[in-house]
Structure 1
């Protein structure tokens, strides 16, 4: 997954059954292998010239685990137009609403952005503006920007303070995005083939074996 973010969700899901594999899981694993074999030259492309700015997409799939009803956190972070960090991971606790699940995902994304910002500072890369974080849940953005809402969310108070603090520091700026344009959606759930192709294209992945200039 270090160079193939397109298989992150599939590997995350299959890794939960390593100790108790069934024929169904083996079929799914073979399908992933066939996909990799069919595109051996596909990988991330990092252009030489890129803007020193961070942009992140944060999402979650509420209660998607049928056994535990835990949600899945998914995020992807771009430095300029280059994908530099991504994750698909089941949340440690059960969320009682989709907003809570997305807020936990947002807190995880904010912590990753904090680490990346510190790393870039050590490399003497100065960020001219706060990291833009796109979320497709307006209530989550309202909670981050309005203290009045915090009285209703004491059960996720730590996550509220984590995100709120990063916003107050000017490290991140929260923006709303439609679900159709939510890139991190592919890290939280399986997608149909057409949507998956769009997801892979938005990650900035290219295939070295694909003929250039339309085959001419």
Structure 2
């Protein structure tokens, strides 16, 4: 805080009383964002140690920061860096969840969700203490930051936090038993990866037994390493599997476009179209064919962002078999062999597993 330009005082130690805190104003977040954005855009980040130190010194002059050294542990996420790359995991956080719920000595499960299980709001008795279920699901949601293999299971469980039942808690306990088998699994990013973006989009049509809404699942890679993934129930009911797949494509395209913008901010430009794989040829035809009026007139206009990005050369749709669809595990519960294949494509690494 500085004195107003017109303020005159003979006492150099005199200060102004703060009538209202800046952080209490509605404009506080916008002002902070403007200042931080301006400061960051005026400097360029990189992997040069000299430039990194210069950036730290600049930020310290602007915001009075403290250099805590190499990233090691942040918000429950462990970061381990060596010459090969970076591994991030939440082993300590996972063990705390298992201990809190009494599953440290449980028998591990092969998959996080039972194949063919359909949870509903009506089957099973209501829990006497729903807070236990809500806390568990909330912690599992945070765990998906480094454990994409449980994304589908947690998405299913999170739909019932309002009135959880014993069947829902049993399904949540299976996730804990699965985590018991590999609490140290985490994402690995190689230091020698090429900058090639590719995505996989999938959908499970009318999978919700009550609303008949479909599930969107996608995963996006830079090189061979997973950087973005999602499992989400679609907002509207799709009239066909092709429509459900096309809506999933629209969500994936928007995510890819956001990643391209992010990479551009980091001075990395993607020249060639991003390969987007889909296992539904009809959905690919809808995206590439501008004359399918009768089959697509009921689909919302915002879904046709797929056509626009194809026309602009941002993405290129490619067909892929369902067996090789990496996003399959984000839309449904898979049996053990299929889940193992899905798991192998996520780039998970366990530093604590025996050699």
Q: Do they superpose with TM above 0.5?
A: yes
Q: Which has the larger radius of gyration?
A: 2
Q: Distance in 2 between matches of 1:38 and 1:82?
A: 23
| TM-score where L is the length of structure 2 | 0.58
Q: RCO higher in 1 or 2 (8 Å CA, sep ≥ 6)?
A: 1
Contact 1:42 1:208 (C-alpha < 8 Å) held by counterparts: yes
| 1:91 counterpart residue number | 234
| 2:175 counterpart residue number | 32
| 1:179 counterpart residue number | 322
Q: CA deviation at 1:161?
A: 2.4
Question: What per-residue deviation string (whole Å, max 9, x for no partner) do you get for residues 63-97 of structure 1?
Answer: 00000000000000001111000000000000010
Aligned length: 212
* Aligned Cα root-mean-square deviation (Å): 1.1
| TM-score where L is the length of structure 1 | 0.95
| 1:134 counterpart residue number | 277
| 2:255 counterpart residue number | 112
Q: How does 1:155-174 map to 2 (within 5 A)?
A: 155-174=298-317
Q: Secondary structure at the match of 2:189?
A: coil
Greater helix percent: which structure?
Answer: 1
Q: Distance in 2 between matches of 1:174 and 1:160?
A: 15
Question: What per-residue deviation string (whole Å, max 9, x for no partner) do you get for residues 139-177 of structure 1?
Answer: 111111111213421111414521001111111010000
User: In the alignment, which of 202, 207, 224 is matched to residue 64 of structure 1?
Assistant: 207
Runs of 4+, deviation exceeding 2 Å: 209-212
Question: What per-residue deviation string (whole Å, max 9, x for no partner) do you get for residues 164-194 of structure 1?
Answer: 0111111101000000001101000000112
Question: What per-residue deviation string (whole Å, max 9, x for no partner) do you get for residues 115-141 of structure 1?
Answer: 000000001112232111000011111
Q: Distance in 2 between matches of 1:89 and 1:123?
A: 29
Q: Which runs of 5+ in 2 are unaligned?
A: 1-143
